[in-house]
């Protein structure tokens, strides 16, 4: 998924390298950075992604929600929140998130995000 709401191809790139084998900062490192910038959607999204990778769905969803509260058109957050919920078997919540993301993508004029979210919705609703 591309567009203004997607992190750079290399993932978190704001000099945040280092916390684990993937070169991504650790959850602890992200929390420390978030103390300095508590409403940074990029850091909130990064924490959500790290929690999702760790299988900590509730925390991931919480941080996706915090990211979206700060930046309601962060389409990539809707996409990955939906993916995280779907992977956890919560398909109805996943579909709700994806549909909200589709509305945000339309408002933002982000056709690519809309297409990706639509495809994910088809997959989730199977």
| Per-residue confidence (pLDDT) for residue 26, from 0 to 100 | 86
> From start to end of 2-121, where are the E strands?
none
Q: In order of start, what are the domains of the chain with their CATH numbers?
A: 27-125 (1.25.40.10)
pLDDT means per 10 residues, the chain with 126 residues, are 40 37 76 92 94 96 97 95 97 97 96 96 95
| Per-residue confidence (pLDDT) for residue 25, from 0 to 100 | 78
Long-range pairs, 8-16, Cβ under 8 A, ≥24? 12/42, 12/46, 14/42, 16/46
Long-range pairs, 118-121, Cβ under 8 A, ≥24? 120/79, 120/82, 120/83, 120/86, 121/82, 121/95
């Amino acid at each position: 998924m591309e567009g203004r709401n997607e992190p750079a191809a290399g993932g978190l790139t704001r000099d945040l390298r280092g916390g684990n084998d993937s070169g991504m900062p650790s959850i602890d490192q992200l929390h420390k950075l978030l103390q300095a910038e508590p409403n940074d959607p990029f850091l909130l999204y990064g924490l959500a992604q790290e929690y999702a990778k760790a299988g900590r769905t509730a925390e991931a969803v919480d941080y996706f929600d915090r990211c979206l509260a700060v930046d309601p058109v962060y389409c990539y957050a809707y996409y990955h929140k939906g993916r995280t919920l779907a992977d956890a078997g919560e398909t109805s919540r996943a579909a709700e998130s994806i549909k909200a993301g589709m509305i945000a993508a339309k408002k933002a004029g982000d056709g690519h995000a809309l297409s990706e979210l639509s495809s994910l919705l088809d997959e989730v609703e199977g």
